[in-house]
Copies of this chain bind each other. A is one copy, B any other.
Amino acid sequence: MAEWLNGWMAGWRGRRRFADREVVAVVPCPEPRRLRSPIATSSWVATRHPRAQEWSMSSTGTPDPNPGWLSDEELEHVRRRLPLLYVEAVPVRVDGLGQVTEVGVLLRATAAGEMTRTIVSGRVMYGETLREALFRHLEKDLGPMAFPQLQPGAIPFQVAEYFPMPGISRYTDERQHAVSLAFVVPVTGTCEPRQDALELTWMTPDEASSDQLSAEMEGGRGALLRAALASVGRLG
């Protein structure tokens, strides 16, 4: 136990340093949003959660050096015994008055080679805050130049419950029971999807709420996208 506590303390100290740097970001200046550097965050997360980057990729099989983390076998085991906590983000473009003008939807190839649509999504790790998890997954899926502007509001626009069996809720995930906190996040930079995401498509709110798009979306996320649009007053 000393060991995991040790790892924890290291992470906690890393956080303090990170927090110190953040103070810079609040100094008034004409374009302070650029100071919200994603690099500061990710370097910290990378230190603390070395396997964060490979989360959705096939495992390399090397032993996990971090005792506060799960092996693939443990994760498989846990997935049938606990609801897992996720965060999801609907990337948007906004106009000068904060009104949503475009919605970003990811195109992804499944393991079976099928094309499917989804949004930014990923697991919250042990010791990680929701904001850190959200930022990490936005960077992972949209690239380092997306400049996501996490909102001050701390309440998700929807809590999506994914079950391995259909019929319990609108959302399904055959791997697991997952509960996801979903947020709308404006991005102001250039998005370059990485890893298994092939493309980010920008759509109008009307296109994003169409039945056709809903049918293409993974795990029932069409309903989630519509709820996102409703929360910003843009659902058709």
Contacts and interface: CB of A to CB of B under 8 A. Distances in A.
A124 interface: yes
How many residues of A sit at the interface, in one of the four size bands? 35 or more
Contacts of A12: 165, 167-168
B94 A131 contact: no
B69 A81 contact: yes
Interface stretch (A52-60, A111-119, A150-158): A150-158
Contact of A150 (B80, B93, B97, B101): B97
Contact of A80 (B26, B68, B169): B68
B153 A153 contact: yes
Contacts of A179: 85, 124, 130
A50 interface: no
A85 to B, nearest CB: 5
A29 B145 CA distance: 9
A83 B157 contact: no
Interface of A: 1, 4, 8-9, 12, 15-16, 19, 21-23, 25-26, 28-38, 40-41, 67-70, 74, 78, 80-85, 92-102, 124-132, 134-135, 145, 147, 149-159, 161, 163-165, 167-170, 177, 179, 181, 184, 186, 188-191, 211, 223, 226-227, 230-233, 235-236
Given A23-B101, A30-B189, A211-B211, 19 more contacts: A1-B80, A8-B164, A12-B167, A25-B95, A28-B189, A31-B33, A36-B95, A40-B96, A74-B81, A82-B85, A83-B126, A83-B128, A97-B131, A98-B131, A100-B152, A151-B152, A153-B231, A155-B156, A170-B233
